[in-house]
């Protein structure tokens, strides 16, 4: 049998496969970045919650002091400290909001990378289906060609045998 034909779009298939592999790597990288952003968000949220808990404790302490009737100086000192705690809390809240934005951006990047991966996979699958159809068609044409060759061989063999029979018949008749 002849050497098998090579798929004419093999180079394109290799390119599509490489793009798919690259899309898989990109998605993994984007997921890693997202994971780190979530970890950092968790850390800054914990820091904010600690400051919030501290603020609530100081507020409770301030109310207790007011109920007990503490000196005005002490109350003024506590209120000044509460302002510092409020500023610190606002700063921590700002960090949480900023980090949430980072998480959102990272999530969007993961979504884009996922969409691209599916598109690359779809492109590759289409090409693989085309290759299968092409191979099926090539096999069909090869079988047709072989059938024609077998028919021709059969016809030639038949002709040769017919001639041999005629020659033998002539020899017997003589």
pLDDT per residue over 28-50, tens digit each?
999 999 999 999 999 999 999 99
Asked whether the predicted pLDDT for residue 7 surpasses 90, the reply is no
Tell how far CA 53 is from the center of its chain. 41
Average pLDDT over the chain, rounded to whole? 91
End-to-end CA distance of the chain, in Å? 45
pLDDT at 111 over 90: yes
Give CA 114 to chain center in angstroms.
4
Dihedral angle sign, alpha carbons of residues 132, 137, 143, 149 = negative
Sequence-ordered list of residues with C-beta below 8 angstroms from that of 99, at least 6 positions apart, any chain: 37, 40, 41, 44, 45
Instruction: Tell me what pLDDT residue 4 has.
Output: 66
Least confident of 5-9, 82-86, 124-128, 158-162: 5-9
Q: What is the pLDDT of residue 60?
A: 92
Q: Per-residue pLDDT averaged across 64-89, rounded? A: 89
Position 5 pLDDT exceeds 80: no
Say if residue 112's pLDDT is above 80: yes
- Is 0.75 surpassed by the pTM of this model? no
Whole-number percent of the chain with pLDDT over 70: 98
Tokens (6 digits) for 121: 């996979």
Which of 78, 74, 72 shows the shortest CA–CA distance to 55? 78
Which range among 15-29, 30-44, 135-149 shows the weakest confidence by mean pLDDT? 135-149
């Amino acid at each position: 049998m002849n050497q098998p034909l090579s798929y004419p779009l093999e180079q394109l298939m290799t390119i599509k496969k490489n793009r798919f592999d690259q899309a898989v790597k990109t998605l993994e990288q984007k997921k890693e970045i997202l994971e780190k952003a979530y970890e950092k968000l968790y850390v800054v949220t914990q820091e904010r919650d600690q400051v919030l808990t501290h603020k609530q404790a100081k507020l409770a302490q301030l109310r207790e002091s007011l109920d007990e009737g503490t000196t005005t100086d002490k109350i003024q000192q506590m209120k000044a400290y509460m302002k510092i705690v409020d500023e610190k809390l606002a700063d921590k809240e700002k960090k949480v909001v900023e980090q949430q934005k980072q998480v959102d951006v990272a999530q969007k990047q993961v979504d884009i990378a996922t969409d691209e991966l599916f598109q690359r996979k779809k492109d590759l699958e289409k090409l693989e289906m085309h290759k299968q159809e092409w191979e099926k068609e090539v096999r069909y044409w090869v079988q047709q060609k072989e059938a024609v060759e077998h028919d021709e061989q059969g016809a030639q063999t038949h002709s040769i045998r017919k001639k041999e029979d005629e020659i033998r018949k002539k020899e017997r008749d003589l």
